């Protein structure tokens, strides 16, 4: 089994194990902290066990980084897997769509970055829908054994944009201060969704359901470090934001499909270290289905950031 096929098989193994637990009260039991400092739940622990068992059973020549366990090495690895076994734990716990398995593959290196990812797969937990992409290759969408086309929207009118933004562990007041004009513009003629899975949201752009995805939290923190206490309080003791494992697979899929994805300053995310979940390596994200929309979103955020300190 080649490493890309192994990543897909691992994603399905996680999905098969987790499906009976989606929406159960027992899945919501807090079990501690993930390696990144995010909250860990019983359903996360189940997924982490599947990873370890699968890699051991198939004797994969890999090291891996997962949300729950951090970096785990084996012998002399050839490949690096960056795994978020449940991106969207909170939707999964209550049985909603919005939870996915995210696995990225890169050549083994402890200095690997997002630009080094060669293969990504995002598998939905509730629906049998799989997104995959290879670097310099193509994006494939397969749902219930049927191949679906990649569909990017051409919407550039902010009044009509359908988009999602992230608030989990981020202080809501400054985020809504920055995004309020876009929320007000688009809530009736477009659509505004709060979804706690960046991988799920980015794949909605590839399927033509969303026009944009925004996580502005880390730019707010970088531009206004005086708000760090608010971020620590919202993160229950840790600065929470967009971690590399959240986006490693979905970034490759979205960019290969033709989406425009940067941080909230307009800079490439490619140099982001894959194995670092320290506060300094947390990122923001602005994704648009076309360059005109992406530019408008960045301009709006720039304008709102300059006025944030005055409000």
Residue pLDDT, tens place only, 14-33: 999 999 999 988 888 988 88
Token representation of residue 44: 């996360």
pTM of the predicted model over 0.85 = yes
Q: Are 135 and 118 in contact (CB under 8 A)?
A: yes
Q: Is the pLDDT of residue 311 over 80?
A: no
Q: Which of 31-40, 70-79, 87-96 has the lowest mean pLDDT?
A: 31-40
Question: Can you tell me the distance from the alpha carbon of 296 to that of 165, in angstroms, rounded to the nearest whole number?
Answer: 16
3-state secondary structure the chain: CCHHHHHHHHHHHHHHHHHHHCCCHHHHCEEEECCCCCEEEHHHHHHHHHHHHHHHHHCCCEEEEECCCEEECCCCCCEEEEEEEEECHHHHHCCCCCCEEEEEEEECCCCCEHHHCCEEEEEECCCCEEEEEECCCCEEEEECCEEECCCCCCCCCCCCCEEEECCCCCCHHHHHHHHHHHHHHHCCCCEEEECCCHHHHHHHHHCCCCCEEEECHHHHHHHCHHHHHHHHHHCCCCCCCECHHHHHHHHHHHHHHCCEEECCCCCCCCCCECCCCCHHHCECEEEECCHHHHHHHHHHHHHHHHHHCCC
**For residue 254, which of 282, 281, 221, 294 has the smallest C-alpha distance?**
294
Question: Which superfamily, per CATH, for 3-148?
Answer: Fructose-1,6-Bisphosphatase, subunit A, domain 1 (3.30.540.10)
| CA 8 to the chain's CA centroid | 17
**Whole-number percent of the chain with pLDDT over 90:** 88
Note the pLDDT of residue 37. 81
Note the pLDDT of residue 286. 98
Note the pLDDT of residue 31. 86
Question: Can you tell me the distance from the alpha carbon of 270 to that of 292, in angstroms, rounded to the nearest whole number?
Answer: 21
Question: Can you tell me the distance from the alpha carbon of 108 to that of 125, in angstroms, rounded to the nearest whole number?
Answer: 28
**For residue 67, which of 275, 209, 226, 260 has the smallest C-alpha distance?**
275
Do the domains at 3-148 and 162-308 have one common CATH topology?
A: no
Across the range 192-218, mean pLDDT stands at 97
Q: What is the tens place of the pLDDT at every residue in 258-297?
A: 999 999 999 999 999 999 999 999 999 999 999 999 999 9
Question: Can you tell me the distance from the alpha carbon of 258 to that of 153, in angstroms, rounded to the nearest whole number?
Answer: 11
Supply the mean pLDDT for the chain. Answer: 95
Token representation of residue 174: 């400054």
Domain-wise residue ranges, the chain = 3-148, 162-308
Token representation of residue 255: 């960019």
Across the range 2-13, mean pLDDT stands at 98
Note the pLDDT of residue 310. 52
pLDDT bracket for residue 309 (50, 70, 90):
low
Note the pLDDT of residue 35. 78
Q: Which of 36-40, 70-74, 144-148, 211-215 has the lowest mean pLDDT?
A: 36-40
Beta-carbon count within 10 A of 75 CB: 9
Q: What is the tens place of the pLDDT at every residue in 90-137?
A: 999 999 999 999 999 999 999 999 999 999 999 999 999 999 999 989
Q: Are 191 and 213 in contact (CB under 8 A)?
A: no
Note the pLDDT of residue 34. 80
Q: What is the tens place of the pLDDT at every residue in 139-179?
A: 999 999 899 999 999 999 999 999 999 999 999 999 999 99
Note the pLDDT of residue 26. 85
Query: Residues, the chain, total?
Result: 311
CATH architecture for segment(s) 162-308: 3-Layer(aba) Sandwich (3.40)
Question: Can you tell me the distance from the alpha carbon of 141 to that of 158, in angstroms, rounded to the nearest whole number?
Answer: 28
Question: Can you tell me the distance from the alpha carbon of 280 to that of 104, in angstroms, rounded to the nearest whole number?
Answer: 21
């Amino acid at each position: 089994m080649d490493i890309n096929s192994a990543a897909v098989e691992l994603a399905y193994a996680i999905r098969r194990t987790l499906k009976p637990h989606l929406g159960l009260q027992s899945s919501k039991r807090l079990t501690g902290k993930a390696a990144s400092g995010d909250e860990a739940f019983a359903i996360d622990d189940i997924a982490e066990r599947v990873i370890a068992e699968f890699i051991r059973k198939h004797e994969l020549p890999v090291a891996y980084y997962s949300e729950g366990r951090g970096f785990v090495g084996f012998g002399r690895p050839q490949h690096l897997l960056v795994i978020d076994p449940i991106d969207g734990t909170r939707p999964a716990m209550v049985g909603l769509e919005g939870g996915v398995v995210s696995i990225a593959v890169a050549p083994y290196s402890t200095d690997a970055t997002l630009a080094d990812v060669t293969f990504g797969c995002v598998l939905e937990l509730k629906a049998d829908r799989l997104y995959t992409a290879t670097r310099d290759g193509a994006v494939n969408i397969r749902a219930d054994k049927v191949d679906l086309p990649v569909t990017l929207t051409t919407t550039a009118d902010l009044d009509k944009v359908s988009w999602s933004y992230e608030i989990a562990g981020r202080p809501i007041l400054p985020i809504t201060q920055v995004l309020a004009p876009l929320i007000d513009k688009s809530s009736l003629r477009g659509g505004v969704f709060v979804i706690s899975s960046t991988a799920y949201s980015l794949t909605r752009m590839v399927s033509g359901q969303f026009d944009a995805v925004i996580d502005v939290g880390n730019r707010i923190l970088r531009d206004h470090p005086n708000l760090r206490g608010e971020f620590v309080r919202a993160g229950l003791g840790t600065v929470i934001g967009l971690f590399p494992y959240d986006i490693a697979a979905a970034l490759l899929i979205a960019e290969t499909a033709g989406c425009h994805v940067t941080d909230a300053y307009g800079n490439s995310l490619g140099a982001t270290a894959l194995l670092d979940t320290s506060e300094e390596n947390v990122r923001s994200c602005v994704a648009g289905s076309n360059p005109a929309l992406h530019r408008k979103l960045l301009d709006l955020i720039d304008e709102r950031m300059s006025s944030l300190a005055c409000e």
